[in-house]
A and B are shown apart, each in its own frame.
Chain A
Amino acid sequence: MVDVSQHKLVPEHTLLDDEAVEDVLQEYNVKKTNLPKIKRKDPALPEDAEPGDVIKIVRNSRTTDKAVVYRLVIE
């Protein structure tokens, strides 16, 4: 099987722990469900991600150095 994370189109995906998720939600003043979504069967997802988890994505941005976004794992 091909290692998806090595592809240049795929940014780094990391699983956030509960504490970090709280910080993120507080910072943006949003609910979990307001975040953009990512499907559980997404090939770029870390293996142990479950629906309800929040994934931190660090993109190589075209307009700045790094852009950090978050996605909520859904079914």
Chain B
Amino acid sequence: MVSETDNLLVSLKDVRFAYGEREILRGVNLKVPRGKVVAIMGGSGCGKTTLLRLIGGQLRATAGTVEVAGRNVSSLNTAELYEMRRRMGMLFQFGALFTDMSVFDNVAFPLREHTDLPFGLIRDMVLMKLNAVGLRGAADLMPAELSGGMARRVALARAIALDPMLIMYDEPFAGLDPISLGVIGQLIRKLNDALGATTIMVTHDIMESLQIVDYIYFVSEGGIVAEGTPDELRASKDPWVYQFIHAEPDGPVPFHYPAEALDESLIGGSAA
């Protein structure tokens, strides 16, 4: 898959990033070809969301290059960055819907901000997007009246309002019931294929991801520790992949945040 270098939409080369003194990413290399659905997986706090923010230009890498559609994101000025973001859609973990606007107005927001289309056309486009996520009938509801799954579907409709080339999802399955989880998973795949877009998805949900994605990267301790297609990963004997896919409590994936030995903490009392 990664041999399709001429058809890459997103490419990260030796990317390093730190929040102050705390280094989160230590030389990440990652490639996302056009038209594919790629998952970035890993334990909590391993830097998955940071990777999305680096690709979207909300954070700047301290070293290395982040390229989207052949352009180095770190070198773009604000106007160029906004120009690029018009062709991106991002779904935040809890939807990030504008709470003072109805569902309709939320989805219409990017269209009204970036186009001069007449009201009738915007209305038709919004209803089509809402129909794609199964919520055309909820157009007049306010975000407070939606369930978590519905809010995420509305946010998905908003993310695809401008038919983006790249759609990014930050934990799209977090906190969803099994039915909503399946619906969102299928939507992500279908929308990607129908729009001819490229999808990057940050998630913990290995079972759903294996069904809908083309390629998976595993992130741990600041780098990519494993990668492959769903079939390759299912067959993998790599202890890291095995532990994650089979949800084993023991293995190389660290559960504890780095700390001194427990007996030292208890005897020394320094943690308190």
**A pairs with B:** no
Enumerate chain B interface residues (CB-CB to A < 8 A).
none
Enumerate chain A interface residues (CB-CB to B < 8 A).
none
